[in-house]
Structure 1
Amino acid sequence: MIKGLLRTCHGYFRITLFMAALLAGLQLPAFILHYENTVLAHLSEARQSLQPFIADARVHTDGDLNKLIQRYRQNADAAVRAGGISVNTLVKRRDYLEELAMRLQASQWHRIWHGLFDTDPRLFAEAREHYDYQIVLNATAIGWGLVSGLLVMVLFDLLSALCTLPFRRRPFMINQ
């Protein structure tokens, strides 16, 4: 009786685990898109912040922003030198965000990898904080849901088999 009850509980737990993994997998593409939009919003802001300096670079240094930054740094006025540091920080931020955005434009597997494991921690936290759980039922979401559910089930079944292995009865062998 206890063995049957344990088997039933194990079955219900497997179904619950599968459903949780399926739902998490369904969320994955929408969350990655939300993270990508967060990165793109910050990139847009960084580009907009640089526009006045890009315009100055066109006028004073033939469009070379690095030469403009160098001119700021060589200026005798400390305030202008500090401005050069600020412009350089903006350029580095824009370049960094462009690199992040470019990584998220790759194949589906790369998008998932870069969107979950190779993220900017602050932007990821911002995306997670503002994410509204939703289920978009398109082929990508359904595929990720099924893959997630099946992967978790395979891992669970392997772990269950390994945990119960020491308790299995061995066939009785008669010595001949």
Structure 2
Amino acid sequence: MKLVFALSLLLGLQLPHFLQQYEHRLDAHYLEAQSQLQQYQHLADLYFLGDINALITKHDQSDDVVFNKEAVVIQNSVNRVEDLSAKKQALTGGLVSRLLFLVGEINQPLFIETKNNYKAEIVLNRDAIVIGLAAALVSSLLLELLFILIIYQFKLIRRYFHNQKKSSKSVN
């Protein structure tokens, strides 16, 4: 039980730091994507009154295959900036909502990239301590509940077989 508490505490202490590294990585990807899109936005500003969709349509409707392919590249850049922006917006809430968002991102490339490059550090700030203690308490309570349920099941099984034994004796 103490081992589970200690391991959960250590894991919980890591979560806010991991979240912070995820947010930094997200910011870097967002800035890079914005920089890439800005080049196309500049062309849209010059020739299409700032309408990037008009630039994409122009490229898409061109007779030149290269321009057609570039329409896909521009659209992918727009989509990437919008996706990263939505993720940044989702991370503007409180610590719990940000951690819940992070759980939903587990199989996403940015989460995996953060996990693969994560360097564990024990940063003892308020968030880390609160999350660490909460994780330790919840996991300990869940383990305790599991033990109680297992013991209860064994008692039920024992009582069942004991009653079966009594009823078979009374029949004979």
| TM value normalised by structure 2 | 0.86
Whole-angstrom distance in 1 between the partners of 2:67 and 2:136: 57
Whole-angstrom distance in 1 between the partners of 2:107 and 2:144: 34
Query: How do 1:18-167 residues align onto structure 2 when only pairs under 5 Å count?
Result: 18-119=5-106, 121-167=108-154
Query: CA, structure 1 residues 98+156, in 2 after alignment: closer, same or farther (shift >3 Å)?
Result: same
Q: Which runs of 4+ in 1 moved over 3 A?
A: 166-170
| Partner-residue secondary structure (3-state), 1:25 | helix
RMSD: 1.5
Q: List runs of 5+ in structure 2 lacking aligned partners.
A: 160-172
Whole-angstrom distance in 2 between the partners of 1:25 and 1:122: 23
| TM value normalised by structure 1 | 0.84
State the number of aligned residues: 157
**How many Å apart are 1:165 and its aligned residue?**
2.0
Q: List runs of 5+ in structure 1 lacking aligned partners.
A: 1-13, 171-176
Q: After superposition, give the CA deviation of every residue in 1:84-134 in whole Å (9 maximum; x if it has no partner).
A: 111011111111111111111211111000112245611111000000001
Query: In the alignment, which residue of structure 1 is the partner of 2:163?
Result: none
Contact 2:13–2:131, Cα closer than 8 Å, also in 1: yes
Q: After superposition, give the CA deviation of every residue in 1:39-59 in whole Å (9 maximum; x if it has no partner).
A: 111111111111111110110
| Partner-residue secondary structure (3-state), 1:106 | coil
What letter is aligned with 2:78?
A: V
